[in-house]
């Protein structure tokens, strides 16, 4: 038993003291071989430590007694041995031992390899590490055929188990070492320093990376008495200690916050600290583990961010433009305070909303194109569109958009600057309209001149030709000159009259076109007025007369007398002109409730249907009026003057039956 103990302790010694597992195993198989009078002792190591990959062995360790052939470098024999082991049951357990005499072995592969290796007796046992097959240990006796005693088997069993334990321990330690290594690597390169405070001893341990943060080496930290007071200002220290005590005593749940710690060189570092309580099994706090993280850079960046944001806000809030920031998907994330002035919404009403919802549907197509173009080209582009205000009305906005990118040039949002250009658009429109009107007026003017000159040519032709005719006749001393001369002279007079009327109308028309007519509004007694007008101009003795009819109760009529004269003389003149030989025309004044109606009715030529649409066009004359002198301006003037006096003109006519012109005016002129 004593011998056994020393044997086990020898093996354990190898396993514990050797720093290399290879050395330990080589020593172990040598001592196992010697202890049990074996000739060969070896380990087949499982190359795959995963069940999924299946088994594969390596002939990894071997010890051979003096003058016994070694096979560790004999590839062929090792390979065959490995194959033989692979053919042994795959269902293995820690207790599965195989031993016996070489000649008795039933596995064919093993029997053949035993013959090669000259094995008389053998002992195989699997080595398990953490319940995973680590490998096999094999012992071979090449000299004697032995009967394995139970005690020896049990000793070997124990020894091999302890090998397995040692192997699993090694694996754990190496795993732990790797973890620590990783931890240290991360710790040293991180800006986070760790400390551990022992509540009982009031001692603090510091991690290695305090040097990088504070400029103190670990040695310095450990040798400076009351290190904490060195790195905190008196005020900060008081605060921290108070918080720490409250935390340890359980008054507060957390120990964390921001503070300043002082670098060895004297400058302050912004740090974020936090701590965790470590309790013992009974729930009593034993230690506090905490960290200090250097956040100076972060604080600096934050400061700059706050500063640049303040700058940005200042600009955004003080510009007359509406400044917005949009998320990547276009939703509003910031709207400058001007939003209320420009679009009538408070910024709270707009935040997280999609601006497209406010855009006029006719402009949406353009906006979508614009958006895609900005995303694609990533350049500042400008667009104008209609935006729905809070009150439902639309304003024109001109918006410039800039893409906001992150450091990897990914789009993180958009920044827009918009201004209300409704006034500009309106002014543009008005300018265009004015320009168009001006052009139309110019065209009208040149048309007018061309038509007017044409209108003058006909009377001129008649006058000139008749003058020549007269000349001819005088030169030839015509017999009937007195009679012919009278005809010619009357023609000339007639045409001069036509030209005079034309000229007068053109002058009036020109005045009206140039807006030179000034209205003088005064009360008019229309009954009296019409009476004077008709007797002065029309109802001459021997000629046709106009019959005046009055309806309703007379009311005072406010208007411009001279314009009314122009209108009525024109209309009455037409009535006479176009109804020669027909019943006398009539003038009907109707005093209605809120307007006055003047109708001039004639029973003359009437106007052909096709000509009616053109009646109020300058120089137009109905096709049935050729033999009647006229300028083609009368009705145009009537219409313009009537409208100038806030009245309306209506015309009813039928060819060969007559025409009625109805003029309507309000009583009061505003």
| 610 near another protein, rule: CB under 8 A | no
| 503 near another protein, rule: CB under 8 A | no
C-beta closer to another protein: residue 259 or 455: 455
DSSP state of 359: B
Among 67, 249, 477, 626, binds another protein (CB under 8 A): 626
C-beta closer to another protein: residue 491 or 582: 491
| 364 near another protein, rule: CB under 8 A | no
| 653 near another protein, rule: CB under 8 A | no
Helices (H), 190-226: 210-214, 218-223
| 440 near another protein, rule: CB under 8 A | no
Using CA atoms, how far residue 423 sits from 268, 358, 387, 419, 437, in Å, is 57, 20, 14, 11, 20
- How far is it, in rounded angstroms, from Cα 392 to Cα 638? 44
C-beta closer to another protein: residue 335 or 462: 462
Binding range to another protein, per CB under 8 A, among 49-57, 439-447, 450-458, 545-553: 450-458
* Beta-bridge partner residues of 255: 275
C-beta closer to another protein: residue 236 or 611: 611
Among 460, 507, 580, 592, binds another protein (CB under 8 A): 460
Among 472, 474, 496, 549, binds another protein (CB under 8 A): 472
Q: How far is the CB of 633 from another protein (least distance, A)?
A: 17
Q: How far is the CB of 466 from another protein (least distance, A)?
A: 5
Binding range to another protein, per CB under 8 A, among 143-151, 409-417, 422-430, 623-631: 623-631
| 595 near another protein, rule: CB under 8 A | no
Among 314, 435, 464, 657, binds another protein (CB under 8 A): 464
| 461 near another protein, rule: CB under 8 A | yes
277, 252 in Cβ contact below 8 A?
Answer: no
Nearest CA to 334 out of 344, 346, 322, 325 is that of 325
- How far is it, in rounded angstroms, from Cα 570 to Cα 575? 9
Binding track over 103-132 against another protein, x by CB under 8 A: ------------------------------
Binding range to another protein, per CB under 8 A, among 160-168, 505-513, 548-556, 620-628: 620-628
C-beta closer to another protein: residue 461 or 536: 461
| 618 near another protein, rule: CB under 8 A | no
What 3-state DSSP class applies to 183? helix
Output b/e per residue, 144-179; b: 16+ Cβ within 10 A: eebebeeebeebbeebbeebbebbbeebeeeeeeee
Nearest CA to 289 out of 227, 350, 204, 186 is that of 204
- How far is it, in rounded angstroms, from Cα 425 to Cα 599? 46
- How far is it, in rounded angstroms, from Cα 10 to Cα 6? 6
C-beta closer to another protein: residue 288 or 463: 463
| 535 near another protein, rule: CB under 8 A | no
| 627 near another protein, rule: CB under 8 A | yes
| 500 near another protein, rule: CB under 8 A | no
| 468 near another protein, rule: CB under 8 A | yes
Q: How far is the CB of 456 from another protein (least distance, A)?
A: 8
For residue 345, give both structure tokens: 């919404």
C-beta closer to another protein: residue 269 or 463: 463
| 494 near another protein, rule: CB under 8 A | yes
Binding range to another protein, per CB under 8 A, among 347-355, 369-377, 414-422, 468-476: 468-476
C-beta closer to another protein: residue 315 or 460: 460
658, 579 in Cβ contact below 8 A?
Answer: yes
Q: How far is the CB of 452 from another protein (least distance, A)?
A: 11
CA triple 627-631-633, angle to 5 deg: 135
| 624 near another protein, rule: CB under 8 A | yes
416: left (phi over 0), alpha (psi -120 to 50) or beta: beta
Tell which positions 43-72 bind another protein, by CB under 8 A: none
| φ and ψ at residue 564, rounded to 5 degrees | -65, -40
56, 46 in Cβ contact below 8 A?
Answer: yes
- How far is it, in rounded angstroms, from Cα 608 to Cα 623? 7
For residue 312, give both structure tokens: 């940005």
| 505 near another protein, rule: CB under 8 A | no
Among 457, 511, 519, 609, binds another protein (CB under 8 A): 457
Which residues lie closer than 8 Å to 539 by C-beta, 6 or more apart? Answer: 545, 546
Binding range to another protein, per CB under 8 A, among 82-90, 137-145, 461-469, 635-643: 461-469
- How far is it, in rounded angstroms, from Cα 665 to Cα 596? 5
Nearest CA to 544 out of 497, 586, 606 is that of 586
C-beta closer to another protein: residue 249 or 627: 627
C-beta closer to another protein: residue 188 or 461: 461
Q: With contacts defined by CB under 8 A, how many residues of the chain interact with another protein?
A: 23
| 474 near another protein, rule: CB under 8 A | no
- Give the relative orientation of helices 481-513 and 422-475 as an angle to the nearest 10 degrees: 170
| 577 near another protein, rule: CB under 8 A | no
From the centroid of its chain, how far is CA 211?
47
| 465 near another protein, rule: CB under 8 A | yes
Among 466, 505, 559, 659, binds another protein (CB under 8 A): 466
C-beta closer to another protein: residue 333 or 503: 503
C-beta closer to another protein: residue 189 or 627: 627
Output b/e per residue, 87-97; b: 16+ Cβ within 10 A: ebeeeeeeeeb
* Concatenated DSSP letters of 419-458: EE-HHHHHHHHHHHHHHHHHHHHHHHHHHHHHHHHHHHHH
C-beta closer to another protein: residue 488 or 530: 488
| 191 near another protein, rule: CB under 8 A | no
522, 558 in Cβ contact below 8 A?
Answer: yes
Using CA atoms, how far residue 182 sits from 176, 179, 189, in Å, is 10, 5, 11
| 477 near another protein, rule: CB under 8 A | no
C-beta closer to another protein: residue 364 or 460: 460
| 562 near another protein, rule: CB under 8 A | no
| Chain residues in the site for another protein (CB under 8 A) | 454-455, 457-458, 460-466, 468-469, 472-473, 488, 491, 494-495, 623-624, 626-627
């Amino acid at each position: 038993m004593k011998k056994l103990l020393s044997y086990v302790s020898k093996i354990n010694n190898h396993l514990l003291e050797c720093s290399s597992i290879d050395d330990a195993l080589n020593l172990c198989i040598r001592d196992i071989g010697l202890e049990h009078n074996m000739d060969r002792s070896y380990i087949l190591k499982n190359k795959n430590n995963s069940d999924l990959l299946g088994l594969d062995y390596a002939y990894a360790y071997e010890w051979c007694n003096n003058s016994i052939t070694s096979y560790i470098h004999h590839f062929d024999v090792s390979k065959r041995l490995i194959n033989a082991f692979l053919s042994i049951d795959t269902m293995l357990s820690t207790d599965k031992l195989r031993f016996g005499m070489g000649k008795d072995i039933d596995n064919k592969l093993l029997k053949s390899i035993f013959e090669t290796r000259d094995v008389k007796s053998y002992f195989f046992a699997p080595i398990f590490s953490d319940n995973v097959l680590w490998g096999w240990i094999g012992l071979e006796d090449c000299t004697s055929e032995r009967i394995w005693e139970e005690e020896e088997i049990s000793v070997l069993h124990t020894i091999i188990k302890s090998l397995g334990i040692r192997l699993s321990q090694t694996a754990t330690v190496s795993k732990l070492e790797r973890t620590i290594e990783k931890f240290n690597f991360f710790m040293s390169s991180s800006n986070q320093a760790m400390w551990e405070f022992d509540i009982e001893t009031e001692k603090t341990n510091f991690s290695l990376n305090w040097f990088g943060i504070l400029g103190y080496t670990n040695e310095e930290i450990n040798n400076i008495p009351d290190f904490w007071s060195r790195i905190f200002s008196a005020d900060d220290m008081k605060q921290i200690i108070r918080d720490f005590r409250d935390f340890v005593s359980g008054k507060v749940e957390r120990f964390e916050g921001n503070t300043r710690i002082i670098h060895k060189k004297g400058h302050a570092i912004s740090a974020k600290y936090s701590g965790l309580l470590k309790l013992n099994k009974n729930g009593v706090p034993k230690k506090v583990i905490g960290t200090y993280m250097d956040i100076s850079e972060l604080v600096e960046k934050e400061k700059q961010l706050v500063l640049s944001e303040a700058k940005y806000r200042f600009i955004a809030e003080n510009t007359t433009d509406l400044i917005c920031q949009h998320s990547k998907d276009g939703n509003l994330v910031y709207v400058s305070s001007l939003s209320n002035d420009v679009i009538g919404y408070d910024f709270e009403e707009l935040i997280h909303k999609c601006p497209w919802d406010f855009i006029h549907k006719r402009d949406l197509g353009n906006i979508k194109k614009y958006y895609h173009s900005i995303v694609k080209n990533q350049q500042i582009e400008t667009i104008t569109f209609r935006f729905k205000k809070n009150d439902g009305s639309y304003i024109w906005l001109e918006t410039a958009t800039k893409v906001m990118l992150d450091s990897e040039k990914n789009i993180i949002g958009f920044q827009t600057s918009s201004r209300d250009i409704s006034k500009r658009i309106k002014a543009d429109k008005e300018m265009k309209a004015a320009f168009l009107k001006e052009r139309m007026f110019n065209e009208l003017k040149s048309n007018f001149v061309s038509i007017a000159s044409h209108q003058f040519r006909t009377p001129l032709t008649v006058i000139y030709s008749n003058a020549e005719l007269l000349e001819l006749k005088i030169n030839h001393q015509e017999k009937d000159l007195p009679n012919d001369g009278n005809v010619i002279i009357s023609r000339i007079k007639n045409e001069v009259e036509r030209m005079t009327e034309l000229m007068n109308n053109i002058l009036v028309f020109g005045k009206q076109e140039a807006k030179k007519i000034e209205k003088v509004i005064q009360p008019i007694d229309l009954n009296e007025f019409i009476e004077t007008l008709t007797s002065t101009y029309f109802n001459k003795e021997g000629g046709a007369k106009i019959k005046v009819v009055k309806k309703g109760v007379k009311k005072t009529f406010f208007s411009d007398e001279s314009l009314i004269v122009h209108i009525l003389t024109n209309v009455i003149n037409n009535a006479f002109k176009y109804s020669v030989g027909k019943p006398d025309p009539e003038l009907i004044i109707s005093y209605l409730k809120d307007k006055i109606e003047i109708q001039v009715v004639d029973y003359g030529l009437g106007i052909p249907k096709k000509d009616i649409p053109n009646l109020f066009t300058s120089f137009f004359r109905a096709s049935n009026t050729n033999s009647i002198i006229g300028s083609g301006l009368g009705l145009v003037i009537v219409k313009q003057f009537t409208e100038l006096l806030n009245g309306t003109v209506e015309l009813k006519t039928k060819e060969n039956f007559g025409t009625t012109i109805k003029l309507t005016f309000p009583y009061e002129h505003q």
